[in-house]
Amino acid sequence: MSGSSRKGFHYFYTIMSRAINLKKSIDYPLFRAISQIAVSAGIKAYVTGGFVRDILLGRKMKQDIDIVVLGNGVDFTHQVAAALGKDIEVKYFRNFGTAMIWFQGWKIEFVGARKESYRLDSRKPIVEDGTLEDDQRRRDFTINAMAIDLSPASYGLFLDPFNGSQDLKNKVIRTPLDPDSTFSDDPLRMMRAIRFSTQLGFSIETHCYRSIIRNASRISIVSAERITDELNLIILSEKPSRGLLLLEETGLLAILFPEMAELRGTETIDGKGHKDNFLHTLAVLDNVAEHSSDLWLRWAAILHDIAKPVTKKFVPGTGWTFHAHDFRGAKMVPHIFRKLRLPMNEKMKYVQKLVSLHLRPIVLAGDVVTDSAVRRLLFEAGDDIDDLMLLCEADITSKNPDKVKRFLQNFGIVRRKLIEIEEKDRLRNWQPPVSGELIMETFGITPSKTVGLIKNAITEAILEGDIPNTFEAAYLFMLQEGEKLGLERKIE
């Protein structure tokens, strides 16, 4: 357990050893104001959900508050907004009895206490007015079903009908009601169980875990956008492998992201086996997560070997090969992003680039590091070179410490070479010093294959170190290449 977690649970035990009243924890003007507005409106209001959970855990609380009221949540939100300031905008969803405002950096969501029922073909509930107990019963997990009373006479009273505080102490994810009903009603809760387990380092209670396996197919009624929101939160956690492993073990990953699930497993022929590429990918992802919180770099780690199942081949006398899995993987990235409703923009192109290039620094690290190879890597990676190097270093997951040490030392050489070449040749995000327009103008030709041949020859000459990266050298080289192709210079 991390230092912050230990402090959190120490705080938790301190709270639970006293009378269960959290008045001091919610002694904010905002809560006091909501309390007084509720009195004026003649209704009762309660803080609930993650805010209460985080108080008990002693975690830094998010500026995100859920308030449940015994009455009309939308009407009460308008009353709160009017009392707090005339410029506060109310966003509401009247069909669900929910509304939301922003106030001084706080996002506050209000809902009328309700009970819910579901149809088999939809995760959209049929909503009816209910009691506080009904509202707590419909919550996803016991640790999110706790509430704090905001009534002046019982301000701060802790209400925990499903013993969520004990589940926090035991570090367990459990549903308030029968998990089969909970997960069948709203299948996204299966992913939320895995997400909370991953983020908090909690285990999923045995009956809940088995219920996820039984109900995994129900996830198909949930929109791709909602699924990917949860998936990204798992990927952004401190140790994302935990969540992805749970997704695979419960059968959810095979439904949601079959390309990754297909990485799982090993095969042996003639006594030669290959590693489990799923477990390797998780190790790479965790290695990246130790050094970067960037979601898209983590996605690059997830997808860097995604084409290994489709490129796997056993060659007698050689063993297993995954030829061109970098190239095939890069071609798979747009399809995966589109299917998962991930952004089809520069984020996708960034991931695609890293997947395409992820073997290049490894090849350099295992061989003599030439200036020309480093120039090419800088030219192709551009500003993403540092992320590419981080990914490649994370990709070294061998159990052989001598091999790891050797590769990391060679990566150090590559990094130093990158710095030297960049300072000398300025090749990061580089464009050749002679443009296609100048080539056409010089030789009096129109856009054609010939222009591309000359421009590519200039690029190759600079990357190989045959000519310096200057306009003068490139221009002279252009004239020589034009002469070889039988072109005449049209301008002096």
pLDDT, tens only, 193-203: 999 999 999 99
Residue 236 has pLDDT above 90, yes or no: yes
Which domains are seen in the chain, by residue range?
1-169 (3.30.460.10), 171-256 (1.10.110.30), 292-425 (no CATH), 436-484 (no CATH)
What is the per-residue pLDDT for 404? 80
Confidence band of 247 (pLDDT split at 50, 70, 90): very high
The mean-pLDDT minimum among 47-51, 195-199, 240-244, 427-431 falls in 427-431
Q: What span, in angstroms and rounded, lies between the C-alpha atoms of 41 and 480?
A: 87
Dmax (CA) for the chain in angstroms is 96
The mean-pLDDT minimum among 92-96, 188-192, 219-223 falls in 92-96
Q: What span, in angstroms and rounded, lies between the C-alpha atoms of 336 and 352?
A: 11
The mean-pLDDT minimum among 7-16, 129-138, 172-181, 360-369 falls in 7-16
What the block records as the tokens of 384 is 């993403």
Residue 117 has pLDDT above 60, yes or no: no
Q: What span, in angstroms and rounded, lies between the C-alpha atoms of 254 and 247?
A: 8
The mean-pLDDT minimum among 22-26, 202-206, 222-226, 388-392 falls in 22-26
Q: Which amino acid is at 111?
A: V
Region 99-114 average pLDDT:
90
Distance set, CA 317 to CA 137, 217, 302, 323, 325 (Å)? 62, 43, 31, 16, 21
The residue among 101, 65, 108 whose CA lies nearest residue 86 is 101
Q: Count other C-beta atoms under 10 Å from residue 7's C-beta.
A: 14
Region 180-205 average pLDDT:
95
Element housing 203 (H / E): strand 203-204
Residues in Cβ contact with 238 at an 8 Å cutoff, skipping those fewer than 6 apart = 199, 289
What is the per-residue pLDDT for 121? 56
Q: Where are the beta strands (DSSP E) in 113-239?
A: 114-117, 126-129, 147-149, 158-159, 172-173, 203-204
Residue 284 has pLDDT above 70, yes or no: yes
The residue among 178, 263, 243 whose CA lies nearest residue 214 is 178
Residue with tokens 């480093």: 374
Q: What is the mean pLDDT of the chain?
A: 88
Residues in Cβ contact with 483 at an 8 Å cutoff, skipping those fewer than 6 apart = none
What is the per-residue pLDDT for 37? 93
Region 174-187 average pLDDT:
93
Confidence band of 128 (pLDDT split at 50, 70, 90): low
What the block records as the tokens of 191 is 């992913």
Distance set, CA 365 to CA 232, 405, 408 (Å)? 32, 11, 8
CA-only gyration radius of the chain, Å? 30
* 302, 332 Cβ separation under 8 angstroms: no
What the block records as the tokens of 130 is 């209910």
The residue among 139, 158, 156 whose CA lies nearest residue 196 is 139
Region 357-383 average pLDDT:
79
Phi (first) and psi of residue 202, to 5 degrees? -95, 160
In the 3-class helix/strand/coil scheme, how is 298-337 assigned residue by residue? Answer: HHHHHHCCCCHHHHCEEECCCEEECCCHHHHHHHHHHHHH
Q: What percent of the chain has pLDDT over 70?
A: 89
What is the per-residue pLDDT for 218? 95
pLDDT in tens, 374-433: 888 888 888 899 999 999 999 998 888 887 888 788 788 788 878 777 766 565 656 778
Q: What span, in angstroms and rounded, lies between the C-alpha atoms of 14 and 9?
A: 8
How far does CA 286 lie from the centroid of its chain? Answer: 12
Question: Which is higher by pLDDT, 85 or 199?
Answer: 199
Residue 74 has pLDDT above 60, yes or no: yes
Region 268-276 average pLDDT:
90
The mean-pLDDT minimum among 126-135, 332-341, 458-467 falls in 126-135
Q: Which DSSP string do the residues of 76-111 spell out, in sequence order? A: HHHHHHHHH-TTPPPEEEGGGTEEEEEETTEEEEEE
Please say whether the dihedral angle defined by the alpha carbons of residues 231, 235, 238 and 240, taken in this order, is positive or negative. positive
Residue 14 has pLDDT above 50, yes or no: no
Helix (H/G/I), strand (E/B), else coil: 480: helix
Region 150-167 average pLDDT:
94
Helix axes 449-464, 471-484, angle to 10 degrees: 130
Helix (H/G/I), strand (E/B), else coil: 15: helix
Residue 116 has pLDDT above 70, yes or no: no
Question: Which is higher by pLDDT, 378 or 259?
Answer: 259
Region 272-300 average pLDDT:
96
What is the per-residue pLDDT for 374? 80
